[in-house]
Amino acid sequence: MVSKRENAITYAVLYTFGFFALFPFISTLLVAFNPPTGAAKGLAIPSPWSLDSFIQAWTDPMAGIGRSMVNSMIVAVSVVAVSVFFSILTGFAFGTMKFRGSKFLLALFVLGLIVPYEATIIPLYYEFRAIGMLNNYWSMILPCIGGSMAFGTYWMSAFFRSFPRELIDSAKSDGANRWTLLWRVIVPTAGAPIFAMATILFIWTWNNLLLAIVMITDQKLQMAPAALNYFVGRQYGAASYQVTCAGALLVALPVMLIYYVLQRRYGSDALAGALKG
Amino acid sequence: MTTVMDPEVRAPARARRAVGGGRARASRRARPARGIDRPGAWPYLLILPGFAFYAAFVLLPIMETVRLSLLDWNGLTAPEWAGLSNYVRALTDDATWQAGLVSLSFIVFSCLAPVSVALVLAGLIARTRIRGLTFLRFVYFLPYTIALAVVAIAWRWLYATDGTINQVVRTIFGEEKVTAYLGDADLALPALGLVAFWAMFGFVTVMLLSGTQHIPRELYDAARSDGAGPIREFFAVTVPGVRQELRVSLVLTFIMALRTFDLPLMTTQGGPGYKTTTPSLIMYRDVFLNMQIGRGAAIAVLLTLFVGAGVLVINRLFRSEDG
């Protein structure tokens, strides 16, 4: 079918890009395994390999990657839990029921997918400031739930729309009311799309830098990406590049783990499938 | 989109409308608990919590941003009506136009370039059976999942004078060719562009791949028996086969290109000069550092309008091709 030479070129191109995608991680990883003191250079193969940079990044009292990751975890888990629950409800309504204004309301939700975050952040900041709610978890959690509803509703509506009608009807004729139908019949079959949605919402919340640096200025409550920003700020001061790279990898770790689990369980298509419309 | 009709929901809704009138309003207020049992209210109740959050933290703030853009406000004293003067000031400022140019560059770096390369990669993968595809897909997608704050740090090291790229440059060309790429007036923007490309190309590839899977193999066989070479096959089979995925990836990467913020903030702070300053960065500085909230809001509104216009154009392009 395809000639040997063509095949060789194909493999060369694909794996070159694969290497390109991985290379920054490899280079960062190598730097981070160097001891925190002294100067690392280039592709620094550590000798000896040391975990000290990771330990220092985790415990550094000012940047405090460890503390910031706990903060981010609390926020991200709350946002994902609430958003997934609400999205199942909105998706169930839009996907299986016809009601007055449903098209308009769904369009209103989908609009949120293209509106840039920048359009909301200014009033969010001043309103949270006005009620004295800056510098606490709520100033992250509440706006992130609001923002997650656009994607969650859109994604769960698409799932419920494709759910076989016969199953819904037969459950109804068995006397199941809507609530048991939703939670006992439909949701148990929706593991893949719900987990994919949860992963995306987790990634978006965990990675959100703009909201984090605007809403939270208290070092103790800092989110993980914002703590990295702080590290970078004093790059040429106390923290060495080894520690900064170690911190960056620590911050990347939870997202990488979740993405890995998702793709092991549901295939690498799960996320991409979720993102296309 | 197929519309699903739920007869159980529809019938009572129609009945209620038929009864309608003032009597219903009075009785509803008298017995509010009854409304919850009525199936007609079901979908609205299901939507209510999600919509409340969405309205409070997305829809209302958007409207409030528009209002703020019409005010002269420093965040402390009472705001004053400013009409369109914030827009006039933003649009007559050279910095805004410079940021617009940076945005255009990012449309190339993190939208057009990744989508083109991803099309080729997906085309290559679609033609044959590739060993290690699962691994490749995982690796390609990885950069997209990582926080841009982390990406910024990884690439700062690659670009640093002591860093990985300069190590190669030093060995081959000698010390005098070593460059601080992110501090160089001409190289900072393309250097960031490469990072943006890196962060996006795999994401788009994986998305397009989910489209190529639905292309029937017979189409490739037919093209080949017609004597089509790899290039004609690409334009005749692969590209039309992933139209839908192509449209969505263009829309998503276009939005992300115009929103570029984390990357310059954490690498160049928009410098040298304004060489890598994006509209989001200007907005952030106006509002949170320079206390010119009206002007920052005006830039946010302009950015949103530009995103909306771009998305419309992309969708229109794909629709007209259908006809």
User: Which parts of chain B register pLDDT below 70?
Assistant: 1-39, 321-323
Residue A19 in any domain: the answer is no
Contact residues on chain B for A90, CB-CB shorter than 8 A? 46-47, 50-51
Q: Which helix (H) or strand (E) holds B71?
A: strand B71-72
Contact residues on chain A for B120, CB-CB shorter than 8 A? 13
Pairwise CB contact (< 8 Å): B50 & A87: yes
Residue A112 in any domain: the answer is yes
pLDDT at residue B140, as a whole number: 93
Searching chain B, which residue's CA lies closest to the CA of residue A210?
B262
What the block records as the tokens of A117 is: 């975050």
Pairwise CB contact (< 8 Å): A259 & B58: no
Nearest Cα of chain B lies from the Cα of A79 at a distance, in angstroms, of 12
From the CB of residue B52, how many other CB atoms can be counted at a distance below 10 Å?
A: 14
At how many degrees (to 10) do helices B293-322 and A102-114 cross? 110
What the block records as the tokens of A114 is: 């293209």
pLDDT at residue B5, as a whole number: 32
- Confirm whether pTM is higher than 0.90: no
Residue A14 in any domain: the answer is no
Cα–Cα–Cα angle for B139, B143, B145, rounded to 5 degrees = 105
Contact residues on chain A for B55, CB-CB shorter than 8 A? 146
Residue B3 touches partner A, C-beta closer than 8 Å: yes
What the block records as the tokens of A104 is: 């308009």
pLDDT at residue B100, as a whole number: 95
Residue A34 in any domain: the answer is no
Residue B225 touches partner A, C-beta closer than 8 Å: no
Contact indicator for B53, A145 with CB cutoff of 8 Å:
yes
Domain that holds residue A264: 64-275
Q: How far is B50 from A182, CA to CA, in rounded Å? A: 17
**Which domains does chain B possess?**
7-68 (no CATH), 88-322 (1.10.3720.10)
Matching residue, tokens 């397009």: B208
Number of folded domains in chain A? 1
- Of B205, B144, B159, B289, the residue nearest A207 (C-alpha): B144
Searching chain B, which residue's CA lies closest to the CA of residue A97?
B6
CATH code for position A100: 1.10.3720.10
Q: How far is B238 from A180, CA to CA, in rounded Å? A: 44
pLDDT in tens, chain A (277 residues): 567 888 899 999 999 999 999 999 999 999 999 888 877 777 778 878 889 989 988 887 776 889 999 999 999 999 999 999 999 999 999 998 888 899 999 999 988 988 888 889 999 999 999 999 999 999 999 999 999 999 999 989 988 888 888 877 777 777 777 788 888 888 888 888 899 899 999 999 999 999 999 999 888 899 999 988 877 765 544 467 888 899 999 999 999 999 888 888 876 566 665 555 4
Pairwise CB contact (< 8 Å): A20 & B280: no
pLDDT at residue B321, as a whole number: 64
Q: Give the nearest partner residue to B127 out of A2, A228, A260, using CB atoms.
A: A2
Residue A21 in any domain: the answer is no
At how many degrees (to 10) do helices B279-288 and B94-107 cross? 140
Residue type present at position A94: F
Searching chain B, which residue's CA lies closest to the CA of residue A112?
B58
CA B205 to chain CA centroid, nearest Å: 16
- Phi, psi dihedral angles at B81 (to 5 degrees): -65, 135
- Of B258, B259, B287, B285, the residue nearest B274 (C-alpha): B285
Residue A40 in any domain: the answer is no
- ipTM score for this prediction: 0.90
Contact residues on chain B for A21, CB-CB shorter than 8 A? 139-140, 142-143, 198, 201-202
What the block records as the tokens of A146 is: 């609001």
pLDDT at residue B128, as a whole number: 80
pLDDT at residue B12, as a whole number: 37
Nearest Cα of chain B lies from the Cα of A185 at a distance, in angstroms, of 17
Question: What SS3 class is residue A10?
Answer: helix
> What are B127-164's pLDDT values in tens digits?
888 888 888 989 999 999 999 989 999 998 899 888 88
Contact residues on chain A for B43, CB-CB shorter than 8 A? 93-94, 97, 99, 102
Contact indicator for B48, A92 with CB cutoff of 8 Å:
no
Residue B143 touches partner A, C-beta closer than 8 Å: yes
